[in-house]
Structure 1
Amino acid sequence: MKEIYAVIRPNKIGATKEALAILGFPGMTAVKVVGRGKQRGILGEVSFNIDPELLKTTGGMKYVPKRLVYLVVDDADVPLVVAVIIKINRTGQIGDGRIFVCPVEEAVRVRTGERGKEAI
């Protein structure tokens, strides 16, 4: 099993969730996060009012609003899930995000006690 973390643009969360559900991966967690990559924040990245505390004097931002999506999938499903996340979220512009794939040693469904692949 692997856990896939994807940091994506806020306006792409709906399409990402829908695409994953269509492919049979309805279970995921998504949270609002702020951060920045190598670009150090892009003021034009967002289309809403920004807290003045987030703005830098250089015209950039300390942090850019993003969404963090994560889900656990079987090893065999990793290439498909990663490819779909890329397809939905790639704009070709700075700030498209990152995907991280990490090993998962164990999964346990609390309600039933199922373990491993059956728990996801």
Structure 2
Amino acid sequence: MKEIIAVVRMNTMNQTKQALTKIGIDSMFAHECQGRGKGLVDVKILSGAKEGHEEAIALLGEKGKLYAKRMLTMVVSDHNVEPVIQTLIETNQTGKPGDGKIFILPISNAARVRTGEIGPKAIV
């Protein structure tokens, strides 16, 4: 089992949910979040702004801003990892900064509270 965490643009959420449903992934959590990638900020300007230099603060402008995103979290069987990743990329890739990130983490076990099922049966 794997946990997949995907950070995507807010305006791609509906298409992402529909695309995941088409490949059989219906269970997920969606969280509103804010963030930015490293490519959107000039580190020298950022450090100058932190030191209080007015010129750096003015240059920083919108580049230091955190952008609204959605974070999707889902736990899937090992055989579903690649299709989920491909679907997330195909649905969210524009080729521009801010398309998002995908993280894959191992899950050692799971339990369904309602039935008491343990292991892979708890996530299907």
Same fold by TM-score greater than 0.5: yes
Structure-2-length-normalised TM-score: 0.81
Paired residues in the alignment total 106
- State the one-letter code of the partner of 2:31: V
Query: 2:4 aligned with 1:39, yes or no?
Result: no
Show the 5 A alignment for 1:1-120: 1-40=1-40, 57=58, 58-60=60-62, 61-120=64-123
Q: Which has the higher helix share?
A: 2
- Look at both structures and tell me which one has the larger radius of gyration over its CA atoms: 2
Q: Deviations over 1:75-107 (max 9, x none)?
A: 111000000000000000011000000000111
Which sits farther off after the overlay, 56-65 or 95-104? 56-65
Distance 1:105 1:116 in 2: 8
After TM superposition, the score normalised by the length of structure 1 is: 0.83
1:8–1:89 Cα contact (<8 Å) kept: yes
Structure 1: distance between partners of 2:18 and 2:110: 24
Q: Percent identity?
A: 45
Partner SS state of residue 93, structure 1:
coil
Residue segments in structure 1 that go unaligned for 5+ positions in a row: 42-55
The RMSD of aligned alpha carbons is: 1.3
Aligned-partner Cα distance in 1 for 2:88–2:38: 21
In 2, distance between residues paired with 1:22 and 1:109? 24
Structure 2: 5+ residue stretches without partners: 42-56
